Copies of this chain bind each other. A is one copy, B any other.
Amino acid sequence: MHRLVIVGGGFGGINVARELKNNPDIDITLVDKRNFHLFQPLLYQVATGSLSPGEIAAPLRSVFRRSRNVRVLLGEAVDVDIQARKVILSDGELPYDTAVFASGSQNFYFGHDDWRKYATGLKTIEDATEIRGKILMAFEEAERELDPDRRRAWLTFLVVGAGPTGVELAGALGEIANDTLRNEFRSINPKDARILLLDGSPRMLPSYDASLSAAAEKQLISLGVRARNNVRVVGVDEHGVELDAPTGHERIESRTVIWAAGVMATPIGRKIAERVGIQTDRGGRILVAPDLTVPGHPELIVIGDLAAMSQDGHPLPGVAPVAMQQGRYAGRLIRKRLRNQNAPPPFRYFDKGSLAVIGRASAVAQFGSLTVHGLVAWLLWLFIHLMYIVQFHNRVLIFIQWGFEYLTYNRGARLITSPDEMEPPPRPAP
């Protein structure tokens, strides 16, 4: 029995396990600190009240219930013992013959960890429900606020980072202000909300074609979102954000700041590098060999956001399709080795295209040099996302949620929830 330990049940990890699930000679342990696989590309929809957490998550045990050679374990991998070949958990250890690390990335505040509590990032279900609560609570506070300046601060929403996640969040915020909350308040008009999308680049969606950046900006403007390009966030506090703009220093008062600006690899990346005596890149990622192994350690494989790899002179992006393809590749590599077959050719990412949704019937898409925007891009986005959702179960539910939202402009999952069991969410100090 070949013992394979997979760290992380995201897009990378589950694809390794799926590729090998019918191989009784491989004993797979999939370890994750959460009990579910999360469909990360739809997380912003939880943050903006369209979907419920359960609709974008699939219990890992349920995904692998029929795979008798796959064992799911709830635990956190914190280190690796290269000599003894053991993955060290926070409360145990797992011996391996091959280990795949696929624990992904986490929010990164460019060294300003104190910004974290004012500018929630969007990586976990808890992040998403926290952002959802903050957005809804801001409108509630504005409704009750009599002072016009403070009311304006409650109605100002800042999204930091104009990559796909930032654009999708800003677009959804625009829809909430313009459509979802229409007629629901008596003292404020939710349309008065000011939504700013801040980025240091000269244009939003810098990884897309410039024509799509322009199209996205136009679509966002129609939703009331204003893009502020070429600005750098130099401070975040309870009451707003400090910016370095081309026109000089600036302060924007806002009670709701959402962080979509940076991620870095999970800490296990640096641990692995330390143990094998190599360096990570600046984002904490392992520079992997062309077959995704750690240089000099064929028994260690690193995939997804935890791996750094270049292709045709460009670094591979930290997106789900890269992790999925790397996961399947890693599975094939392990199987071929065990069967003493020829190793597969070096990993190559096949870019099927990029998509970012902006709002109702509005999205941008890029397939190689082909660009599409508007309704066609949105339909493509819809189709692809529904197809990729892991469990058929959720796919139908999401389709219905979206159908109703499209028809009624309503969002079903608008709950302000709080970790504290007896209390309502704390009201921030004025």
Q: Is the CB of A144 within 8 A of B73?
A: yes
Q: How far is the CA of A416 from the CA of B59 in the complex (A)?
A: 9
Kindly state whether residue A314 has any CB partner on chain B within 8 Å.
no
Q: Is the CB of B424 within 8 A of A76?
A: yes
Chain B residue at smallest Cβ distance from A418: B126
Contact partner, A417, options B72, B126, B140, B410, Cβ 8 Å: B126
Kindly state whether residue A61 has any CB partner on chain B within 8 Å.
yes
On chain B, the residues within 8 Å of A137 by CB distance are 74
On chain B, the residues within 8 Å of A52 by CB distance are 52-55, 413
Q: Is the CB of B181 within 8 A of A92?
A: no
Q: How far is the CA of A417 from the CA of B380 in the complex (A)?
A: 32
Q: Is the CB of A35 within 8 A of B416?
A: yes
Kindly state whether residue A427 has any CB partner on chain B within 8 Å.
yes
A127-B421, A413-B54 known; A35-B393 Cβ under 8 A? no
Binding-face segment, A228-236, A333-341, A344-352, A394-402: A394-402
On chain B, the residues within 8 Å of A127 by CB distance are 421
Q: Is the CB of A62 within 8 A of B397?
A: no
How big is the A interface, by class? 35 or more
Kindly state whether residue A184 has any CB partner on chain B within 8 Å.
yes
Task: Give the one of A54, A55, A144, A393 with max B CB within 10 A.
Answer: A54
Kindly state whether residue A282 has any CB partner on chain B within 8 Å.
no
Q: Is the CB of B416 within 8 A of A34?
A: yes
Interface positions of A from 135 to 163, Cβ below 8 Å from B: 136-137, 140, 143-144
Kindly state whether residue A415 has any CB partner on chain B within 8 Å.
yes
On chain B, the residues within 8 Å of A92 by CB distance are 144
On chain B, the residues within 8 Å of A419 by CB distance are 126, 418-420
Contact partner, A414, options B62, B182, B404, Cβ 8 Å: B62
A65-B183, A186-B71, A418-B126 known; A412-B400 Cβ under 8 A? no
Q: How far is the CA of A413 from the CA of B185 in the complex (A)?
A: 32
Contact partner, A415, options B106, B125, B183, B186, Cβ 8 Å: B125
On chain B, the residues within 8 Å of A312 by CB distance are none
Residue interface bits A47-61, CB-to-B below 8 A is 1, else 0: 001011111010101
Kindly state whether residue A305 has any CB partner on chain B within 8 Å.
no
Chain B residue at smallest Cβ distance from A92: B144
Chain B residue at smallest Cβ distance from A407: B393
Q: How far is the CA of A59 from the CA of B140 in the complex (A)?
A: 12
Kindly state whether residue A124 has any CB partner on chain B within 8 Å.
yes
Contact partner, A136, options B35, B120, B418, B422, Cβ 8 Å: B35
A52-B55, A404-B393, A427-B91 known; A61-B181 Cβ under 8 A? yes
Interface positions of A from 1 to 51, Cβ below 8 Å from B: 33-36, 49, 51
On chain B, the residues within 8 Å of A59 by CB distance are 184, 414-415
Q: How far is the CA of A323 from the CA of B136 in the complex (A)?
A: 28
On chain B, the residues within 8 Å of A55 by CB distance are 52, 412
Q: Is the CB of B125 within 8 A of A417?
A: yes
Kindly state whether residue A130 has any CB partner on chain B within 8 Å.
yes
Interface positions of A from 68 to 95, Cβ below 8 Å from B: 71-76, 91-92
A-B residue pairs in contact (CB < 8 Å), sample of 13: A34-B416, A52-B55, A52-B413, A53-B413, A53-B417, A61-B181, A65-B184, A66-B183, A74-B137, A74-B144, A76-B424, A391-B412, A393-B408
Apart from A65-B183, A393-B408: 14 A-B pairs, beta carbons within 8 A: A35-B140, A35-B415, A36-B415, A52-B53, A53-B417, A59-B415, A74-B143, A74-B144, A106-B422, A120-B421, A393-B404, A393-B412, A394-B412, A418-B419
6 interchain residue pairs of minimum CB distance? A419-B419, A54-B413, A52-B52, A52-B54, A61-B184, A33-B424
